[in-house]
Chains A and B, each alone.
Chain A
Amino acid sequence: MRNLKRQLLAGPYLLWMAGFILLPVVMILYYAFTTTSGHFTMLNITSISASIHLKSLLLSLKLALVCTIICLVLSYPLAMILNNMKLKRQGFIVFVFILPMWMNFMLRILAWKMLLSNNGVINTLLETLGLPALDILNTPSAVVFCMVYDFLPFMILPIYNAMSRIQKDILEAAKDLGAGNIIIFFKIIVPLTMSGVVSGIIMVFVPALTSFAISDLLGGGKVLLIGNVIEQAFMQEYNWNLGSGLSVVLMIFVIASMALMSSKGEEGGASVW
């Protein structure tokens, strides 16, 4: 009885969800499966097999994967270092990583563009040091670079969160029982932070897969991701049916990768922060 009453608290949200989350999805599905004149069609969905679309989807998958791996490799040691610093207030860590977001996203990307350009600060610096110029602007590398920049906090925070929850007693018990650092790392730390890693991967991979603004601004128009194709279908070609169709395909990919990851971790995306 008590429980039922408490469940009612979710009522307002349930209504909200029906109206503003599920209904819009229905709209997208409707557009995805109809032609401009409103007849049923599968063409919008199957057009993913067109060579340009397929190519951009594969490129997106590749870049998202590379970005996720780089983020993971950078974040894991970072989380360990931060955890060892034994800060009194963990909130400070979260704060340091979230703070950059208070500067507008597009401005930050623009700043990177200036830094990386041929005559930008970084290349001028490299030149004076006698090093070869970094010629990555307008290439997929620049896009990955900026994706890593933008999504890194979403990898660091869940891993750090999971790591800080490991109880010191366990580590000490292991040490007392004669386990070396390597064994402790692989047998205790890695398994116990797995849920954080899984959340991190999802939080990075999904936005990287669907992003379009970064490739738009740093790819010099030469890097066409699936996100760009969808954006163009909606914004440039006024072909909402095609845009919706491709979005549905993208959604399927996202859900599939989520499911794949969640089956590997115990809690999935629920314990992000």
Chain B
Amino acid sequence: MVKKSVERIYLSIIFLFLYLPIVVLIVLSFNNSKSKVQWGGFTFNWYIKLFSSKSIMEAFGTTIFISLASALIATLLGTLAALGIDAMKKRNQTIMIGATNIPLLNADIVTGISMMLLFVRFTRLGLSTVLIAHITFNIPYVILNVLPKLKQSSRTTYEAALDLGATPFYAFFKIIWPQIRPGVFSGFLMAMTMSLDDFSVTYFTKGAGIHTLSTMIYTEMRKGIRPEMYALSTILFLIALLLLLFMNFRPSVHKEKGDAL
């Protein structure tokens, strides 16, 4: 019994640790004072102002577009790549995985600058360069999520299906896909989260006038952040919360998915 309560306390402390800053930011979004260090009473004002601020809404749109599109394309490329890598010889696999790890291991700023150096040589910076950069650092997350699932999946069933006359396509969706689907989904989710949270890479690869929420916050950081930013972050956070709660707690039609997520 004592052990149980110790465990409970420990868990609560960790969750407090993880969520305390978020509570602070949510509180700030209702603070009726421009200064972040003074409490000026409760207000919904920033939420109203938020939607009339063109620059913030544009940055929000860009952020959502970049993270969604980059995560999607990365998931597609990454899943295909994982299928290919899985079929390779051991030695080639090691090389491929090694190269895949590079963006994960490099300091963000180095990844960002090296991509900028490359883009500047061949093209102009714009929205597409940010997209390419994000896809690049997203792919590893997808591969590293899908590959272990592929390794766990049984090869023989797939081959048996082919021998029995199934087309590779049919056999893939019938046998392999259900097994790797959790990996693909969690890869997609990871990729999207990483892309959403990225600052360094975006900062160096974006063209003029393009802002994501991160780069906008960065330039405002020193001079004080517009309270509308806290409001928008709160909304974004709550949407994510609802979405993920929904995905996790809806009646278990796709039980496997929830399990491995």
Contact = CB atoms under 8 A, between A and B. Distances in A.
> In the complex, A touching B, CB below 8 Å?
yes
Interface residues of A, number: 81
Contact of B248 (A3, A89, A206, A240): A89
A16 B139 contact: yes
A105 B199 contact: yes
A24 B259 contact: no
Interface string B1-34: 0000001001100110111111011001000000
A173 interface: no
B113 A243 contact: yes
Interface in A71-87: 74, 77-78, 81-82, 84
A100 B20 CA distance: 10
Contacts of B236: 102-103
Contacts of B143: 13
Given A28-B110, A115-B21, A13 B261 contact: no
28 contacts: A7-B88, A8-B84, A9-B81, A13-B81, A16-B139, A17-B99, A24-B111, A74-B14, A78-B10, A84-B7, A91-B260, A98-B190, A99-B241, A101-B197, A102-B236, A102-B241, A103-B21, A103-B233, A103-B237, A110-B36, A111-B20, A114-B24, A115-B24, A210-B108, A230-B109, A231-B109, A234-B109, A273-B186
B107 A92 contact: no
Interface residues of B, number: 87
Interface of A: 2-3, 6-14, 16-17, 20-25, 27-28, 31, 74, 77-78, 81-82, 84, 89-92, 94-112, 114-115, 121, 149, 152-153, 206, 210-213, 217, 227, 230-231, 234, 240, 243-244, 247, 250-251, 254-255, 258, 269-273
